[in-house]
Structure 1
Amino acid sequence: MNVDQYLSIFIDESLEHLQSINANLLSLEQNPDDLDIVHSIFRSAHTLKGMSATMGYEDLASLTHQMENVLDRVRNKQLELEPYIIDELFKSNDALQAMVQDIVQGGTGRAEVAANLQSLKLIANGESREQHASGEEEKAELSHSPFDVDEYQYSVLIRSLEAGFGVYFTEVVIRGDSLLKAARAYMVFQLLEKHGEVIKSTPSVEEIEQEMFDRSFFVVIISKVNEDVLQTMIGNVSEIEAVKVSRITRGTLIELKGQHQETTIAKEIPAETAKPARIGNLDKPVTAVNVSAAVATASRSIRVDLDRLDALINLFGEMLIDRVRLEQLASEIRRTELTETVEHMSLVSNSLQDIVMKLRMVPIDTVFNRFPRMIRDAAKTLDKKIELIMTGVETELDRTVADEIGDPLVHLLRNSADHGIERTADRIAAGKSATGTIHLRAFHSGNLVFIEIEDDGGGINGEAVLAKAIQNGLVTQDQASNLSEEDIYSLLFASGFSTAGQVSDLSGRGVGLDVVKTKVESLGGHVRVESRRGIGTKFSVQLPLTISIITALLVQTDSEKYAIPLSMIVETTSVRMDQVRSVHGIRTICYRNSIIPVISLLDHFKIPGEVRLYNDNVNMVVARKADKLLAIEVDEFIGQQEIVLKSLGKFLAGTDVVSGATILGDGQVALIIDTDAFFQ
């Protein structure tokens, strides 16, 4: 069977299962007695094992199989869940993620997982030896294996025991580097059939012949040969890594069959008895209703390649340009039929635009879901107690923005954990709770998405920041005396700036924040920081909801037309030329009791135009970046319009104030102004 056609589906579903395992392990760490969470992890591991075996990724299948063994022992209450067990499960999940990422990058998915396998085997086997006597060890070993026989097979086994035959449960593990697993399994079956009768195999004989199994399989056999002889004979087969032969007694057989029936019944948990599972920081009851709804939703959804969505967006953008052109022609021709048709087309295209844009929207939870694990590991590394509280995870933003914003947020969160949250002893001495808190919030405001990372740590030492900035030559002593608190904190975003006395495994406050700023601004966003000594620090990231189709104000300067995104505009106004004053060689105006600079597009782009009279009125667009304002001088306001962003590639690569271009209804090209560049 050619499985290449299923590779993309395998990757997508594997990543989903791994993320589910990761999130559930975090919940399980907080609620170790909640078996519902254990069942969820087991199902994800079991599904991933089957998918991996089918696709031929043996290392993936082997590791998930061993995770199954441990989880099955836990869910059957034969193994107490200790912190070190959860740590090992986390490590195994990390190894699985690394293998899937290798597959994503075109690799084979093979990895050195012997240490992970051995650790999980010791947990599964070692715990049973510590908790059970020798008579119970056999039963424990069998109970975590796929031992399930029908009524006929059960009666055959009982009669065989009564007739004096030995009944054995055999687990055979083939070496990971074996190229002919089915052939090795066939040799084992041939050997067993010479010395007895095989009653059942898991997987089935047909599946084993087609190599539809991972490295291990299980066999129930009736034989007159004792278990030690069987184990030795099977172990002598080439490329067999391990063999475990266990004798089944009549009492064990009866008890295990009863346990199997009870387990089957117990899995059918009524909705009203389901316990709330703590996921992140939200308590969500896991009930049969939730599962049904999830299944119903999944059955009504399909996977669509992102490139196809990009193509759809581009085509819709071209249609939007033509719609604007038709609206302009209709206003010129003034035919009733044409006007009505264009108006209806506008209504339909607006609805279509909403649908098309929502196709690219994803909940920010796809970005946030990796942070709880990261903060957990950071807290252990730093020997701190940290709680991450996430809100607004359902907030949606463009897939492109979501893909790019993850790394900047990782760095900001690491800064909060490393340099923001104090050590436990320091927090207690300061009268704070021993556990530090980091709040990660997301919310919409108009056409913008805001993400806030706020910690209740010690805050930023402004004096230390200023002293370091003077030492590095970022500001002079005279300039430093005139800096506001916000200006001082903004120095953290200077390239290579850091106040950390030593470099840690995570970060020091300021390390790499220039990269965060650059990435956020490349997405059309802003980042700012607020801090209070002894109270905490808050980083605020402002991002556009989407970066493909935006609403902009069209303006004209002389014969040139420009587009300024509405998200950057505070308001438009008109002032007299005599109100424009020169302060230290910079043109300024008084705006709401503040003096703000004036930028002229005519001068900036060196557009040849007529000399204005002194008493002429001039139009201004007031733009904002964080708490800073400036006015952009233009000749005329054309109006508000939805525009499609087009990249200019290398043509205007050196022009910071131009972020792209758009095609207007009359076919003209209008440059899109990035007002942030004027603040630098």
Structure 2
Amino acid sequence: MATNQYTEVFLEESNEHLQAINDNLLNLENKPEDLSLVQEIFRSAHTLKGMAATMEFTDITSLTHQMENVLDKIRNQSLKVNNKVIDITFEAVDHIEEMVNAISVGEDGKKDVSDIISRLEQIENGKLSEQEKDSYKQNDSPKMELDQYQQTVVSQAVEQGFEVHMITVRLIEDCMLKSARVYMVFEVLEDIGEIIKSSPAVEELETENFEQEFTVIFLSKESPNEVKNRIHKISEIQDVNITPIDQDITKSKIVTKEDREAVSEPKSSVKDSKTSQGKTATSKTIRVNIERIDYLMNLFEEVVIDRGRLEDISNKTENQELIEAVEDISRVSSDMQNLILTMRMVPVEQVFNRFPRMVRGLAKDLNKKIDLEISGAETELDRTVIDEIGDPLVHLIRNSIDHGVEEPMKRKQVGKQEVGKLYLRAYHSGNYVFIEIEDDGAGINRDKIVEKAIENELITSDRASNLTDKDVHQFILSSGFSTADHVSDISGRGVGLDVVRMKIESLGGQISIESEQGQGSKFIIQLPLTLSILSTLLVDIQNETYGIPLSTIMETVLLPGDSIMHSHGHEVIDFRGNIVPLVSLQDVFNVPNTKTNSDSYHSVVIVKKGEKMAGLVVDSFVGQKEVVLKSLGNYLQNVYAISGATILGDGQVSLIIDPNELIS
């Protein structure tokens, strides 16, 4: 059977079903008794299995078949949903995603899935594999009893900001000098903290009266990853397991966080405004090759330019038949334009829907509790922008989880809820889409950034005191700038953010940062709604013509000169009860005076960004025009308040204004 022609359809539908499985698994983790979610997961897995079998992808077929068996027992109430079932099912989905991704790049999609299938069979039969038993033994940390003095030391250390860790170190089986290795481990730990107690006792460790494993209670301000890395540098160390723990003073013993959470709440809860209702949001897919859509758009851009020329010619000749024909062409071409643009627009949920699963995994890895809230997922963006924005968003979200949101114990110490908040928002504003990533974590340390900027000779110490917070925050977007004490494998505050900035700017967008130390940070990405055609209001400023996107305009008004007031040294007007600042575009763009304006009235364009408004003062209004937005080229990048240029019907070049830049 010739299957190559159906591969693209298989990949698109497989990704949709995998996303549905991910979304419903996240909901099932929070609602383990909801069998309707199990039914939805089963249906997606069954469809995926059928498609894979038809395409002769045997490994995907085998794995989805075993997933079906487990899900079937759950929906028949022969098996209960628990964390182990959820985790292993997620692992199975990861394997399927890897195989589907391999197929998308031309590989055969084969993978050794015997281990994960065996583990699913163990669940189906109500058994645990030996590997999982060992894992649970390791996680079942002992409750090491402390005497009154040791407990007092721990209590005082926690109040001073130290963290309590239970560290289990396992030596290799054929370790020759176990006591020497223990001594080296103790020496490393005492350099960065204090050992409170060991099991077995120190005397037994010195006489090598233990098997291959020993455990210590350890106080330190270093991160668990840093402690683990230092221990692993010692030879003949097989494994290091570090468990952050709380102290239970009333019972005079150390209790692990896992013990507490076994009777309370999950570590991480992730919710989406759409999926929380138990519904899976499926998006429509474009079945036409995107290159064909791009080619059609390029052709239509030329039609728009020629349409403008025809409109100018018909107005000059005053031939009624020509005017009517041009009006018909304009109407039909406008409908075509809207249709083509709609074909290219896709909701940002195609990018957003990968993040709930990612946040869940990172929260578990870092022992944090994080609540993700998504809003505006239905906001639409040009397909070419959607394809490129995913990686920058992944980096920013990982950055917020790793270095923004604090660990539960630290959050409690500063009076915050244990569960950190992470917000992902998208919304339209004029001809742009704004995406915000906000957390309620530790925020950005201004003093640390300034210190690093001075060290890197980006600024002088004299100038540093005059910088605003916004100016200081921009430094972390600079190439190679980092304030991280330790670089983790998750992210680094400042590491790689210059790459994020360059990617966003290559799409015609911008990134800005707002942060308050101790309260959280917000990364704001501004992206063009579409990269091609837009409706504008043409305005004259002296002898120059500019375009203002209609989507940003609230109203145009003619104001008498005596209606202009002054506030704090700036010109303002009273617009329907609101004080609106005026911005002279002639001053902003340094347009030279070529004619005297004796009119006592001022032409003002009222524009809006979110809840903020401004009045743009121009000389006159020309009229509405559909224009093709072109970039200014590589030599004119990030020109203030200019988003691009267009060619008018008479051949004149007109700059397109970005009002978002003018509203502060």
TM-score bracket for this pair, using the shorter chain length: 0.5 to 0.7
Pick the aligned partner of 1:526 from 495, 500, 510: 510
TM-score, normalising length: structure 2: 0.65
Report the secondary structure of 2:127's partner residue.
helix
8 A Cα contact 2:481 2:495, kept in partner: yes
1:10-59 superposed Cα distances (whole Å, 9 cap, x missing partner): 11101111111111111111111111111111111111111111111111
How far off its partner does 1:595 sit? 11
Would the alpha carbon gap of residues 479 and 676 (structure 1) be closer, same or farther in structure 2, given more than 3 Å must change?
A: farther
1:410-429 pair list within 5 angstroms: 410-429=394-413
Give yes or no for the alignment of 1:465 onto 2:446. Answer: no
Q: Which residue of 2 aligns with 1:653?
A: 634
Match of 1:348 in 2: 332
The change in CA–CA distance for 1:621 and 1:128 in structure 2 (over 3 A counts) is: closer
Which residue of the partner structure matches residue 95 of structure 2? Answer: 95
Partner of 1:539: 523
Query: How far apart are the structure 1 equivalents of 2:428 and 2:616?
Result: 27
CA distance in 2, matches of 1:545, 1:594: 26
Report the counterpart of residue 265 of structure 1 in structure 2. none
Paired residue for 1:280? Answer: 272
Q: Measured at CA, do residues 632 and 595 of structure 1 come closer, stay the same or move farther in structure 2, by a change above 3 Å?
A: closer
Partner of 2:365: 381
Q: After superposition, what is the alpha-carbon deviation per residue over 1:242-276, rounded to whole angstroms, capped at 9, x for unaligned?
A: xxxxxxxxxxxxxxxxxxxxxxxxxxxxxxxxxxx
Give 1:72 deviation, angstroms: 1.4
Going from structure 1 to structure 2, the CA distance change for 1:349 and 1:279 (only over 3 Å counts) comes to: farther
Please identify, of 466-475 and 344-353, the stretch whose mean Cα deviation from structure 2 is larger.
344-353
Distance 2:647 2:307 in 1: 12
* Distance of 2:129 and 2:392 partners within structure 1: 48
- Relative to structure 1, the CA distance from residue 573 to residue 469 in structure 2 (aligned partners, 3 Å threshold; closer, same or farther) is farther
Question: 2:487 is matched with which residue?
Answer: 503
User: 1:325, CA displacement in angstroms?
Assistant: 1.3
Counterparts of 1:425-574 in structure 2, within 5 Å, are: 425-552=409-536
Q: Residue type matched to 2:17 in 1?
A: H
- Please give the alpha-carbon distance, in whole angstroms, between the structure 2 residues aligned to 1:487 and 1:344: 51
Q: Is structure 2 residue 25 aligned with structure 1 residue 25?
A: yes
Per the alignment, residue 245 of structure 1 pairs with none
Q: Give the aligned partner of residue 275 of structure 1.
A: none
What is the SS of the residue equivalent to 1:642?
strand
Cα–Cα, structure 1 residues 554 and 371, in superposed 2: closer, same or farther, change >3 Å?
same
CA distances 1:514-547 after superposition (whole Å, capped 9, x unpaired): 2222222222222211112222212222222111
Conserved 8 A contact 1:385-1:435: yes
Q: 1:495/1:623 Cα in 2 relative to 1: closer, same or farther (>3 Å)?
A: farther
Alignment match, 2:51: 51
Distance change (3 Å), C-alpha of 1:558 and 1:96: same
The 1:128–1:376 alpha-carbon spacing in structure 2 relative to 1, beyond 3 Å, is: closer
Paired AA for residue 97 in structure 1: E
Q: What SS does the corresponding residue of 2:373 show, helix, strand or coil? A: strand
CA distance in 1, matches of 2:465, 2:583: 20
Partner in structure 2 of residue 366 of structure 1: 350
Q: Rg: which structure is higher?
A: 1
Aligned amino acid, residue 104 of structure 2: V
Distance (Å, rounded) in 1 between the aligned partners of 2:449 and 2:614: 27
Seq. identity, %:
51
Deviation at 1:451, TM superposition (A): 1.5
The 2-side partners of 1:96 and 1:57 are apart by: 11
Residues 393-438 of structure 1 show CA distances to partners (whole Å, capped at 9, x for unaligned) of 1122221222222111112111211111111001111121110011
Confirm or deny: 8 A CA contact 1:598 1:631 kept in the other structure: no
Matches within 5 A, 1:47-446: 47-127=47-127, 280-282=272-274, 303-446=287-430
Q: Is contact 2:583-2:617 (8 Å) kept?
A: no
Q: CA deviation at 1:355?
A: 2.6
Q: How many Å apart are 1:501 and its aligned residue?
A: 0.6
Name the SS of the counterpart of 1:303 in structure 2.
coil
In the TM superposition, what whole-angstrom CA distance separates every residue of 1:630-655 from its partner, at most 9, and x where no partner exists? 9999999866532223568xxx5344
- The answer (yes or no) to whether the contact 2:606–2:615 under 8 Å persists in 1 is yes
Residues 23 and 90 of structure 1, relative CA distance in 2, 3 Å threshold: same
CA contact (8 A) 2:542 2:594 kept: no
Residue 23 of structure 2 contacts residue 275 of structure 2 at CA under 8 Å; is this kept in 1? Answer: no
**Any idea what the Cα deviations from partners look like across 1:323-342, whole Å, max 9, x if unmatched?**
21111111111012222332
| Kept in 1: contact 2:582–2:616 (CA 8 A) | no
Secondary structure of 1:438 counterpart: strand
| Alpha-carbon offset, residue 476 of structure 1 | 0.8
Cα shift readout 1:580-637 (whole Å, capped 9, x = no counterpart)? xxxxxxxxx98779999967688xxxxxxx99799999x99999999xx999999998
Q: Which moved more, 1:483-492 or 1:420-429?
A: 483-492
Alpha carbons of 1:676 and 1:128: their partners in 2 closer, same or farther (altered >3 Å)?
Answer: closer
Deviation at 1:316, TM superposition (A): 2.6
Deviations 1:476-512 (A, max 9, x none): 1011011012211222211121221101121122222
Q: Distance in 2 between matches of 1:490 and 1:441?
A: 21
CA spacing shift, 1:624–1:407, aligned 2, 3 Å:
farther
Number of aligned residues: 500
Matched with 1:2 is 2
Question: 1:80, 1:114 → 2: CA distance?
Answer: 24
- Indicate conservation of the 8 Å contact 2:102/2:108, yes or no: yes
**Which moves more between the two structures, 312-321 or 468-477?**
312-321
Contact 2:430–2:552, Cα closer than 8 Å, also in 1: no
CA contact (8 A) 2:432 2:529 kept: yes
Question: Alpha-carbon deviations, 1:547-606, whole Å to 9, x = none?
Answer: 1212456688999977676789999999xxxxxxxxxxxxxx98779999967688xxxx
Q: Which amino acid aligns with 2:272?
A: G
Structure 2 residue runs without a partner (length 5+): 131-269, 559-568, 573-580
* Residue aligned with 1:127, SS: coil
Q: Which amino acid aligns with 1:280?
A: D
| Matches of 1:418 and 1:614, distance apart in 2 | 59
2: CA distance between counterparts of 1:425 and 1:286?
Answer: 32
Contact residue 528 and residue 539 of structure 1 kept, 8 A: yes
Q: Distance in 2 between matches of 1:594 and 1:11?
A: 53
CA change 1:303–1:660 in 2 (3 A) is: same
1:643 to 627, 646, 649: 627
